[in-house]
Amino acid sequence: MTYWAEREERAMKSSEGAGRSALSADRDGEKAELNIVPAGDPWKECMETAVQLALRAGQVIKKALTEEKRVSTKTSVVDLVTETDHLVEELIISALREKFPSHKFIGEESTSAGSKCVLSDSPTWIIDPIDGTCNFVHRFPTVAVSIGFAVNQELEFGVIYHCTNGNMYTGRKGHGAFCNQERLHVTQETGIRNAFILTEIGPKRDPATLKLFLGNMEKMLQFQAHGIRVIGSSTLALCHIASGAADAYYQYGLHCWDLAAATVIIREAGGVVIDTTGGPLDLMSCRVIAAGTMELAQSIAQMLQTIDYGRDDEN
């Protein structure tokens, strides 16, 4: 049994009655084994808790993947949500709130239900309970849970768990990025020509939006990009940039809970995450370019036509 499979099994055992109590402590020595952040780090306990909660949430999602689901819609007929999205978000937030009562929370489903999306200076958890809900609904196995953490409006760490293949992506500001226990490194591709690029469609499907989306894709192909892929999960696509499996990613219509954890992981793997205008990333702007190099990111920024999705902090 692999390292993370063992941790997943322990997490599953600890999750019986999940959502009603805070995370139980690891046995002696297990926290040292994790070795994600150095001893004495002020957010060490937070990151360890995030990893354990991602494992627990992943078990719930993996089990529910093959079961019948009650599906409803949010902003459009293709913007889906299930009872499992709500269950997993409640599981994560209730456990975190019990353990860290002074912290703030931004969650995809609570925001959709009307909670304000505000990133303050307080320690703030930014949570996507199921990234790839459409995949999840159709039993397509590319689904993840994403947990980001910010303090003073600066991203500190990110945890993304691929629920079906067991890959745990982690990144901590100043301490590197990892998939399970293997260090991650981005590619060094500098131009669109020969680049392997990922993107996502976004929930808008009106003719004007589709024309812009397809036009942006056409420009990448005209510049001889090796390929463009849509996998249905923004967070896992971004993890592919961090791992060097792809060279760049761009999207209009994603949200801060899609970006928060992945941004730390990509930056710690040596990559860049910027706004589609070519300027600094604005976490609330619903748009992003991520790449292994700034040269490639800026080349993509020069090609893109803007698709307006508003801002997370204006909803």
Q: For this structure, is 192 an active site residue? A: no
Indicate the residue type of 277.
Answer: T
Structure tokens at 212: 């812009």
Structure tokens at 277: 């205008």
Q: Of 106, 130, 228, 289, which residue is the catalytic one?
A: 130
Q: For this structure, is 131 an active site residue? A: yes
Distance CA 209, CA 200 (A): 13
Q: Of 108, 109, 156, 247, which residue is the catalytic one?
A: 108
To the question of whether residue 314 is assigned a binding role by annotation, the answer is no
To the question of whether residue 312 is assigned a binding role by annotation, the answer is no
- Looking up tokens 């999705």 gives 309
- Looking up tokens 């500190």 gives 156
Q: Of 109, 128, 268, 312, which residue is the catalytic one?
A: 128
To the question of whether residue 67 is assigned a binding role by annotation, the answer is no
Q: Of 85, 131, 156, 282, which residue is the catalytic one?
A: 131
Q: Of 85, 109, 258, 282, which residue is the catalytic one?
A: 258
To the question of whether residue 275 is assigned a binding role by annotation, the answer is no
Residue of 241, 232, 132 lying closest to 179 (CA atoms) = 241
DSSP tag of 129: E
What are the φ and ψ backbone dihedral angles of 212, each rounded to 5 degrees? -65, -45
Strands (E), 18-58: none
Distance CA 297, CA 229 (A): 17
To the question of whether residue 108 is assigned a binding role by annotation, the answer is yes
Q: For this structure, is 41 an active site residue? A: no
Residue of 314, 291, 315 lying closest to 302 (CA atoms) = 291
Distance CA 295, CA 71 (A): 42
Q: For this structure, is 263 an active site residue? A: no
Beta bridge partners of 172: 157
Residue of 131, 252, 135 lying closest to 200 (CA atoms) = 252
Task: Pick out the residues of the known binding site for Mg(2+).
Answer: 108, 128, 130-131, 258
Residues designated as active site? 108, 128, 130-131, 133, 258
